[in-house]
Structure 1
Amino acid sequence: MDITQILLAAQSPDGNLRSAAEGNIKQFQEQNLPNFLLSLSVELSNDERPPESRRLAGIILKNSLDAKDSAKKELLTQQWVSLDHSIKLQIKESLLITLGSSVGDARQTSSQVIAKIASIEIPRREWQDLIAKLLSNMTQPGASVPLKQATLEALGYVCEEIPPEHLEQDQVNAVLTAVVQGMNQTELSSEVRLAAVKALYNALDFAESNFANEMERTFIMKVICDTAVSKEVEIRQAAFECLVAIASTYYVHLDPYMQTIFNLTANAVKGDEEPVALQAVEFWSTICEEEIELQEEYEGSDDANSTVNYRFIEKALPSLVPMLLETLLKQEEDQEQDDNAWNISMSGGTCLGLIARTVGDAIVPLVMPFVEANITKPDWRCREAATFAFGSILDGPSLEKLAPLVQAGLDFLLNTMNDPNSQVKDTTAWTLGRVFELLHSPCSTNPIISNANLPRIMAVLLESSKDVPNVAEKVCGAIYFLAQGYEDAEPASSLLTPYLPNVIAALLTAADRGDMTHVRLRASAYEALNEIATRRSKAICRLCCVVYCSATVHEEAMLAIGALAYATGPDFVKYMPEFFKYLEAGLQNYEEYQVCSISVGVVGDICRALEDKILPFCDGIMTVLLKDLSNSQLNRSVKPPIFSCFGDIALAIGENFEKYLPYAMPMLQGAAELLVVLDQNDEDMVDYGNQLRRGIFEAYSGILQGIKGAKAQLMIPYAGHLLQFTEAVYKDRSRDESVTKAAVAVLGDLADTLGPISKDLFKSHLFHVEFLRECLDLDDEVRETASWTQGMINQAIVS
C-alpha cells in the first residue's frame, strides 16, 4: 500500500478517487494502527515526498492522538500508550528529525504532534529526554534557522499542553534559558525571535520559582521589555502579550518594573501599530481586573488595604486616564455596524470602565472635562468619544457622585438621539441603557427618572426604536433596563403601566422589521419583551385591563400579549387563568371584528408558546370559535383565520384534538362547499375565496399533523372529501400562489399521516400528478413543498 499515493488521492477533486482513498486510509488505520502511525510519521519526515501528502499525514497523525471530545481523547490516549515501545520510539525520532525539514508546514505540524505525544507521555514519566533533545537543537553548532524556529515552537506547544508540575525545575530553567537566548537581539533571525517570544508566553506558567527570584525575574522582565521595542510589529505584539500574561499571573512581583512598563505602554498606545497598542491597553485592563478581584477578596476585612494590592491603577491614574481618553477619538467609520469590531477606541473605553470600577469616584474629575470639552464639537468623533467616555465610567463611582451629573445631562442625551451621525446615536443609546441599568432606582430619595421626565424618556425611546437596526438594538436594551429598574418598586412601578401597550407594540415591530440585517436587534427586542413578561408578573394583568377597559388601544394590547406569550414560552401558562377571560371576551367581540380577528391570532401565538399546556383551556376556546363560525353577524374576514386556528390548536394538543373532530370537520366541509357558489366575477369575493381556501387547508394540515400516529385512522372518513376539495381548487385558476402551496402541503400531510392506507385514495384521485408537475415552474418555496409532497405520496403508494 503506497501511503503517498493514497494521501494524495484523498485530496483529489474526483469524488470517486477521494472516497476510495478515504476508505483505504480507514482500513489501514483499523487493521494495523502501529504501522499506520509509523507510515504517517515517515511520510511527514521525508523531504522527498510531496508537501500535500506530508501535510495530510501530519494532520491525520495529530488527530490520531487528540480529540475535543473527552471520551474519544481518552480512547486515543490509550491506543497510543498500548503501542509497542519500539514503534513509538521510531515515530518520535521521525518527528524530531522533521523539525529540521526545509518545508515549513511539515516543521510546524511536527512540533504540534511532538507536544501531543508529550502531553500523554510526560505525565506518565515517559519521554523524559524530550526537553534535553529539543534544547540540544538550540545549542548545536551551525543549527539552521528553521530548526531553531521549529524547536522553539515545539517547546512552546509542549508548555501549552502539559501542566507545570510535570516538568522538573532544572528542565524549566533550561527551557527559559533557551527561550530568552532566542529572544536576544543578537539572534539575527526575526522568525526565531518571534518563535522564542511565543514560547516564553506558553512557558510563563512554569516560571513561578523563577519569578520569585529577584535576579532571575529582573532578567526575564528586562528581556521582555527590550523585545517590546523590537523593529518587527509581530514581535512587539508578542512581547506585550507576555506582559499581559505576567500582569495576571505575577501581579505581586510587578512593582519595580511598573514605571518602565507604563512608558512602554504609553508609547505603544500613542504611536504604535494597532495590534501592539491593543495589547498595551489590555495590560492595564488586566491590572484593573487583578485589583478589582483583590478589593472584592479583602472587602470588609482588616486586610482591606493589604500590601498584596499595590494600587497600580490609583498611582497611574493622572497619566493613564488622559492616555486612554485620547484612544476614544480613534474610532473606525461604521464600527457600530460590525458585531465583531474591536479596535483601539473600543479597547480604551473598556479599560476606562474597568478603571472606574477599580478607583470609583476618583475617575470622575479626570473624565468629565474631556466630556464637557468634546460633547458639542462639530466633529462627530469628538461627540461620540465624549458620550462613550461618560457611559464607560457609570459603573464604579458612587450614586452620590454620578446622580447630579446624570440628572444634568439626561435631557442632553435624549436630544442627542436625534444626532445626524448614526455612530453618535448608537453610543448615546448604549449610554442611556447604562444609566438605566446602573443608576435607575425609583425608591431612592432623588431618583434619576421621575414623573416629570418619564414621558420625554418614553417618547424618545419609542421613536428611536424605529431607527437603523444597530441603534434600535441599543434602544431595546435601554427599555429592558428601564423596565428592570421598576421591578418590585411599588408603587413607582405603576408609572410604567400607561406606556406598556405602546412599548410592547414598538418592541414587537422592532423584532419583526423588514430590514432585519442586524440579527441582534430581534434578540434585543425579545429580551426586552421577556423582561416585561417574566420579571413583571403584573404586566399581563395590566395589559388585560387595557384590553378590557380601553377600546382604542386593546388591539395593540392583544398583539402585545401574543408577543409576550411567544417571548415567555411555556411559562406563559401561569398567566392563562387571569388572561383567558379577556381572551374569551375578545373572541366574542363581534362588533369590533378586528379585535376578534387579532384575538384569534393570539390563540395561535399561545398555542405555539404553550403547546400541550393549552389543553385545559381548549374546550372554552373551541366552543367560542365554533360559535363564531356560526354567527352571521361576524365579519366574514375573521372566519379564514379561525380555520387556521383549528390547525394551530391541533398541532399544540396532538391526538387530544380527537374530541373536537365531530364539530370542526363539518365546519370545514361546509366552508368548502360554500366556495362553489362564490361569485367569480367579484374581485373581493375571489380574494376572500382564496383566504378561505388557505384557512381550510391550514386547518387540515394542522389536524393531520396533530392526529398523526396511533389515531391516524380517525382521519380516514374525511380524506376523500379533502381530496375532492383539493382537486376542485386545483382546477380553479383563480387560486393564488399561497393557496397552491397550502394545497400541495396538505396532500403531503395526508400521505404522511395515513401512510399506506392512503394508497388507493391517491390512485383514484390522479389529479395530484399534474398538480405537482405544474408546481415545478413556480417559486422555490412551492417547488420545495411539491418535492416533499411527491416523496410522501410515492412512499405511501409503494409501501
Structure 2
Amino acid sequence: MERSYIMKMVCETAISKEVEIRQVAFECLVSIASTYYEKLEPYMQALFELTSNAVKGDEEAVALQAIEFWSSICDEEIELQEYENPESGDSEPPNSHFIEKALSSLVPMLLETLLKQEEDQDQDDSIWNLSMAGGTCLGLVARTVGDAIVPLVMPFIEANISKPDWHCREAATYAFGSILEGPTIDKLTPLVHAGLDFMLKAMKDENNHVRDTTAWTLSRIFELLHCPASGFSVISSENIRQVLSVLMESINDTPNVAEKVCGAIYYLAQGYEDAVPSSSLLTPFLTEIITYLIRTADRTDGGDSKLRSSAYETLNEVIRCSNVVETSRIIEHLLPVIMNKLEQTLQLQIVSTDDREKQGDLQASLCGVLQVIIQKLSSTDETKSIILQEADKIMTLFLRVFACRSSTVHEEAMLAIGALAYACGPNFENYMREFYPYLEMGLQNFEEYQVCSITVGVVGDICRALDDKVLQFCDGIMKHLLNDLGSNELHRSVKPPIFSCFGDIALAIGEHFERYVSYAVTAMQQASQICAQIDLNDEEFMEYGNQLRRSIFEAYSGILQGFKNSKPEVMLPYAAHLLQFIELVFLDRQRDESVTKAAVAVMGDLADALGPNTKLLFRDRAFYIEFLGECLQSDDEQLKETATWTQGMIGRVMVS
C-alpha cells in the first residue's frame, strides 16, 4: 500500500545535500534490490538515472553504493537463471531481465569507473574503491548476460590497451579479466588466443599496477579456459614453454605481482588434475616450478607472509595435480627439503607473540605440503614405500610441532597425521601412545571447533588404518566424542562428523562396540528428532540437516556392518526406529541426493545384517518399495547400483 511512497522518499533522499544521507539512501536501495526484486519494474527508469548520476559525479562513498545496487540486481538475476525452466525460459519469481535491458548504458558507465584507479590500490587488497567495485560489477553483468557483454567491452579494451597512460592499460586489462566468466567458451576462446601473447608481453610492463592486473587476468584465463580433460585449453605443447618462462621470470617481481603469478601457476596446474592418466604438459618443467615456488616462499619481502602462504598453496596444487607415475622421483626429492624446513622452524628462538604467530603460520604451510606429498606418494603401491621409510622421522616432526603449541593443536599437522595413518596402515600403532594425548587435546578443543572437527576426521582415518588395534584407545575416544555431543559449547558443524566417526569405530572394532552402542544410538536418535524439525525456508539449516541425516545413516551403516558377522542381534531393538527415520526422510521431497544414497544404503545394511528378523518390519513399512522404485529410475548410476543391491537384500529377507 505504501510502497510507491516509500520509494519516492528514498529516491528524493538519494539527492539530499548531505553526503552521508545520500550514502544511506543508496544503501536502502541496495537492500530493496535484493529483498524486493520482483517489485522494482515501475521504478527502474528513475533508479537507473539516480545510480548513473551518482556513479559519474558523486562522492566515492555514494558512488560505491550506486554500483552495489547493480551488483545486487545481478545477484538476483543470476540466482533466478538457476531456477529457470529450460523449456519455457520462465522462472519463479519472474526474471525481469533488468541487466539485459540496461546493458547498452550500464556497461559504458562501469567501464568508465575502471579508469579511476588509486595509486596504491594493488599494494593493499583491503582498499575497496570505485575501479574495484566497477570491475566486480562488470564481472557479475558478464555472468548475467553471457555473450552479449563481449561486443560492448572489446572496443574499450582495444582502444585502451596500448595507450601511454598506465591507467588506460590497466583498465583495459581489468575489463578483459572481469568478463571471462559468463560468455561461452566459443565466444571467448578466439579472443583469448589472440590476446594471450599480448598478456605475456604485458607482464614486463613498466608499471606495477599493469603487471599486477595482467597476472590476475592470466590466472583467470587459466582458471576458466584451461581444461584439457574437457578437450579445450588455451595452453598447448607449442606455447607452454613460453607461458612458463614468463611466469617464472615474473614470480621474482614485487610481492603483490608475485602473489598473483602464484595464482596463475595454481590454476595452470589444476587444469591437468583430471588429465592424470595421460601425460601432463607440466611434467618436464616440474622441478623448475617447484624450485621457483620454494624460493618465492623463502623471500623476506613478503610483508605479512601472504606471498609465502600463496607460494606454498600453489606448490601443494602442483604436487596434487601431477601425474604420480611421471613425477614420483621429483616429489621424493622434495620430501627431505620440506622436512628440513619444518625442523628449522622448531629450532627458532621465539621471543615475541608476533614471532610465535609467524612460526605457527610457517609450520601450518609446511605441514600442509607434507600432507599433500604423503597423499600423493601413498596413492600407488610402488611409491608408498617412500613414505613408509620416512614415517618415523615425519611423525617425530609432527609430534614436536604439537609440543611447541602447548595448549592448542595445529590443524594442518593433524590433517597430515591423518594422511600418514592412511599410508602406514596397521604400522601406525607404533605412534599411537605418543600421539594419543594430542588427539585428546584436539577432541576437547571446543573453542577452535575446526580443530575439533578435523581431529574427529583423523580418528576415522586411524580406525581405518588400525582396525581392531584401535580398541585399546576406544574408551577414551568414545568418552570425548559423547561429551562433545552433549556439550552446548560445541559448534553444531562438528556433530555430523562425530556420528560418521561412530560408524568408523564400529567397523574397526566389530562386536566390541557393544559397550558403546546404547550411548551412541541414543545420541543418534536425539539428533534424528532435530532433523524432523528442519525449517524448509532456512537454506543454511536445511544444509546442516542434510549433513546430519547423512552422517546418522553412515553411523548406522558402520555399526550394522560391524556387528553383522558376530552379534547382529545387538541392533534389533533399534531397527524399528531406524526404519521410521528412513521413512521420514523418504517423505521429504527436498532431500539432498547424498542423503538419498545414504538412506538407501543403510536400508540394505539393515536387511543384510539382521536378515529374517526384519521381515515384519519391512512388511509393516512398505514405503521402501516406492523409495527403491524412485531410486532405480534415477540418472545417477551409483544410486541405481545401491538401490539394486538393497532391493536384493530386502528381497532375500521377504522370501526367508
Range of TM-score over shorter length: 0.5 to 0.7
1:542 equivalent in alignment to 2:326: yes
1:346 and 1:355 map into 2 onto residues whose CA distance is: 14
User: Conserved in 2, the CA contact under 8 Å of 1:437 and 1:485?
Assistant: yes
Q: CA deviation at 1:614?
A: 6.0
2:423 and 2:227 map into 1 onto residues whose CA distance is: 39
Structure 2 partner of 1:366:
152
TM-score using structure 2 length: 0.55
SS in structure 2 at match of 1:369: helix
2:119 aligns with one of 322, 330, 333: 333
Structure 1 partner of 2:216:
430
1:406 equivalent in alignment to 2:207: no
Q: CA deviation at 1:436?
A: 0.5
1:253 equivalent in alignment to 2:31: no
1:229 equivalent in alignment to 2:15: yes
2:109 aligns with one of 323, 326, 329: 323
2:339 and 2:196 map into 1 onto residues whose CA distance is: 31
Q: CA deviation at 1:298?
A: 1.1
1:254 and 1:616 map into 2 onto residues whose CA distance is: 56
2:302 aligns with one of 504, 513, 516: 516
Give CA deviations for 1:247-279 in whole Å, capped at 9, x if unaligned.
111111111111111111111001100000000
Give CA deviations for 1:381-415 in whole Å, capped at 9, x if unaligned.
11100000000000000000000000000011011
User: Conserved in 1, the CA contact under 8 Å of 2:138 and 2:178?
Assistant: yes
1:440 equivalent in alignment to 2:226: yes
SS in structure 1 at match of 2:273: coil
CA 1:496–1:243 in 2, change beyond 3 Å: closer, same or farther? Answer: same
CA 1:562–1:463 in 2, change beyond 3 Å: closer, same or farther? Answer: farther
Q: CA deviation at 1:544?
A: 2.7
Structure 1 partner of 2:367:
566
Q: CA deviation at 1:526?
A: 2.0
CA 1:493–1:250 in 2, change beyond 3 Å: closer, same or farther? Answer: farther
1:290 equivalent in alignment to 2:91: no
Structure 1 partner of 2:57:
271
User: Conserved in 1, the CA contact under 8 Å of 2:290 and 2:315?
Assistant: yes
Structure 2 partner of 1:19:
none
Partner amino acid for 1:526? Y
Give CA deviations for 1:322-351 in whole Å, capped at 9, x if unaligned.
000000000011111113110010000000
User: Conserved in 1, the CA contact under 8 Å of 2:395 and 2:417?
Assistant: no
CA 1:359–1:561 in 2, change beyond 3 Å: closer, same or farther? Answer: farther
2:254 aligns with one of 444, 468, 475: 468
CA 1:406–1:527 in 2, change beyond 3 Å: closer, same or farther? Answer: same
Q: CA deviation at 1:500?
A: 1.4
User: Conserved in 2, the CA contact under 8 Å of 1:289 and 1:354?
Assistant: yes
Match runs of 1:603-682 below 5 Å: 610=416
Structure 2 partner of 1:310:
96
User: Unaligned regions of 5+ residues in structure 1, if any?
Assistant: 1-212, 548-553, 588-598, 622-648, 657-799
User: Conserved in 2, the CA contact under 8 Å of 1:504 and 1:560?
Assistant: no
Match runs of 1:183-222 below 5 Å: 213=1, 216-222=2-8
Give CA deviations for 1:468-494 in whole Å, capped at 9, x if unaligned.
111111111111111111111256552
Match runs of 1:85-100 below 5 Å: none
2:267 and 2:251 map into 1 onto residues whose CA distance is: 15
User: Conserved in 1, the CA contact under 8 Å of 2:297 and 2:308?
Assistant: yes
User: Unaligned regions of 5+ residues in structure 2, if any?
Assistant: 342-364, 402-412, 436-656
CA 1:616–1:476 in 2, change beyond 3 Å: closer, same or farther? Answer: closer
User: Conserved in 2, the CA contact under 8 Å of 1:227 and 1:236?
Assistant: yes
Partner amino acid for 2:10? I
CA 1:584–1:393 in 2, change beyond 3 Å: closer, same or farther? Answer: same
User: Conserved in 2, the CA contact under 8 Å of 1:544 and 1:582?
Assistant: no
User: Conserved in 2, the CA contact under 8 Å of 1:562 and 1:606?
Assistant: no
2:336 and 2:51 map into 1 onto residues whose CA distance is: 57
Structure 2 partner of 1:486:
272
User: Conserved in 1, the CA contact under 8 Å of 2:335 and 2:373?
Assistant: no
Q: CA deviation at 1:361?
A: 0.3
SS in structure 1 at match of 2:228: coil
Partner amino acid for 1:412? F
User: Conserved in 2, the CA contact under 8 Å of 1:534 and 1:568?
Assistant: no
CA 1:491–1:413 in 2, change beyond 3 Å: closer, same or farther? Answer: farther
1:493 and 1:242 map into 2 onto residues whose CA distance is: 55
User: Conserved in 2, the CA contact under 8 Å of 1:233 and 1:273?
Assistant: yes
1:396 aligns with one of 182, 198, 202: 182
User: Conserved in 2, the CA contact under 8 Å of 1:611 and 1:653?
Assistant: no
TM-score using structure 1 length: 0.45
2:94 and 2:422 map into 1 onto residues whose CA distance is: 62
CA 1:298–1:421 in 2, change beyond 3 Å: closer, same or farther? Answer: same
CA 1:313–1:579 in 2, change beyond 3 Å: closer, same or farther? Answer: same
Query: Which stretch has the larger CA shift, 525-534 or 426-435?
Result: 525-534
User: Conserved in 1, the CA contact under 8 Å of 2:160 and 2:169?
Assistant: yes
CA 1:480–1:328 in 2, change beyond 3 Å: closer, same or farther? Answer: same
Q: CA deviation at 1:299?
A: 4.5
Give CA deviations for 1:103-141 in whole Å, capped at 9, x if unaligned.
xxxxxxxxxxxxxxxxxxxxxxxxxxxxxxxxxxxxxxx
CA 1:561–1:487 in 2, change beyond 3 Å: closer, same or farther? Answer: farther
SS in structure 1 at match of 2:227: coil
Higher Cα Rg, which structure: 1
CA 1:262–1:573 in 2, change beyond 3 Å: closer, same or farther? Answer: same
User: Conserved in 2, the CA contact under 8 Å of 1:324 and 1:348?
Assistant: yes
SS in structure 1 at match of 2:122: helix
2:91 and 2:422 map into 1 onto residues whose CA distance is: 62
User: Conserved in 2, the CA contact under 8 Å of 1:353 and 1:393?
Assistant: yes
Partner amino acid for 1:414? L
Q: CA deviation at 1:567?
A: 2.4
CA 1:364–1:492 in 2, change beyond 3 Å: closer, same or farther? Answer: farther
1:453 and 1:492 map into 2 onto residues whose CA distance is: 19
Partner amino acid for 2:208? S
1:247 and 1:482 map into 2 onto residues whose CA distance is: 37
Root mean square deviation, CA, Å: 3.5
1:456 aligns with one of 231, 237, 242: 242
Structure 1 partner of 2:204:
418
CA 1:501–1:270 in 2, change beyond 3 Å: closer, same or farther? Answer: same
2:172 and 2:201 map into 1 onto residues whose CA distance is: 15
Structure 2 partner of 1:241:
27
Structure 1 partner of 2:138:
352
Structure 1 partner of 2:448:
none
Q: CA deviation at 1:218?
A: 1.6
User: Conserved in 1, the CA contact under 8 Å of 2:173 and 2:217?
Assistant: yes
Q: CA deviation at 1:566?
A: 3.1
1:292 and 1:448 map into 2 onto residues whose CA distance is: 27
Q: Percent identity?
A: 57
Q: CA deviation at 1:559?
A: 3.4
1:465 and 1:600 map into 2 onto residues whose CA distance is: 35
